[in-house]
Amino acid sequence: MLKFWLRSISVGLLAAAIIIASVPSLRAHVFHKSEDTAADMGTVQLSFNQAVHRAAPAVVNIYSRQYDRNNHKKLSTQGLGSGVIVSKKGYIITNYHVIAQADQIIVALQDGRVAAAQLVGKDKRTDLAVLRIEGSNLPVIPLNPNYQPKVGDVVLAIGNPYNLGQTTTFGIISATGRSSISAGRRQAFIQTDAAINEGNSGGALVNSRGELVGINTASFQQATDIETYGISFAIPFSLANTIMDKIIADGRVIRGYIGVDGEDMNAMTSRLLDGEHIGGILVIGIDPNGPAHKAGLHANDIILKIDGKKISGRQSVMETITNLRPGTRVNITILRKGKEMDLPVTIAEDTRS
């Protein structure tokens, strides 16, 4: 059988060679196509030039200046970072830690313009701040509220590392929903392997279309001699945009609060409840002075819904509650000893720093 197949293949190849050799026009066509294909492959290159071209003009350098302790008339630059122009009105999102100690904030655009920035507001908990500059024809970074970051998406980090000037680094989204990367910051972060160094803070993380994905905020640091590469974090644009809107509206971030600490239902707990309450959270602590305690919530209750809408984990509850205005009344559906019940809760303001 093997000899039969080898003989058939040999005959076919010989026939093809004879036909090509005897028909010059066909021979020229075949070899011409091969050369064209090789030439085309040689010129193909992967480039994100268009994405950078769309996004980079809206990424600014930020310099924080402080008065000299011995001479209150003298200002000196004490810090540097980056920011992103997100509105034609001149609003800029950056990190809180970039401007935390600033007496004066200077913004340098990529087209050479320099402007003093007004601090609109700041939020230490999310490490975000909103600035505003005056100017005409300000570049605005492309925004796409419908974009959802996914693991494996190509991203570019644009900023001003070490005051070298605007720099773009390349990577992918390594994870989403990362939390507790530093004390007091529990929001979900985007993890990326694009390099984010000192001075990149507050800069833009964009996708392959140049659309804003997040605000670069931190690199992972270990308290050891082991150097860590490829682990950096960004605040998702959706959160940054929400915080900006709150700051512009109120001058600060007003958060709702009910005084509950909970943990996600694990697979075993869910199976004990016939798998009907996946996404709920188990209440493990209650603030004795908070609205939840006053409404009658107890430890070991399972929160299932808020105003009739099913929740999907602890992060979902945090986001829902914090986005509610103090004074708002909501119905929280809980499961207690196998029985569902609704408890009306009046949202208070979260005054924790």
- The residues assigned a catalytic role are 97, 127, 201
Q: How buried is residue 8: exposed, middle or buried, by Cβ count under 10 Å (0-12/13-18/19+)?
A: exposed
Q: Is 268 helix (H, G, I), strand (E, B) or coil?
A: helix
SS3 222: coil
First to last CA, the chain: 81
- DSSP character for 266? P
| Residue (of 194, 234, 196, 203) closest to 108 by Cα position | 203
- Give bridge partners of residue 309 from the DSSP assignment: 306
Q: Which two tokens stand for residue 244?
A: 């900006």
Closest by Cα among 222, 256, 249, 219 to 234:
219
Distance CA 291, CA 345 (A): 6
Helix (H) or strand (E) holding 155: strand 154-159
Cβ partners under 8 Å of residue 85, min gap 6: 58, 59, 60, 91, 92, 138, 139, 140, 141
Q: ∠331-335-339 over CA atoms, to 5°?
A: 110
CA distance 56 to 136: 18
CB 216 within 8 A of CB 201: yes
Distance CA 53, CA 144 (A): 17
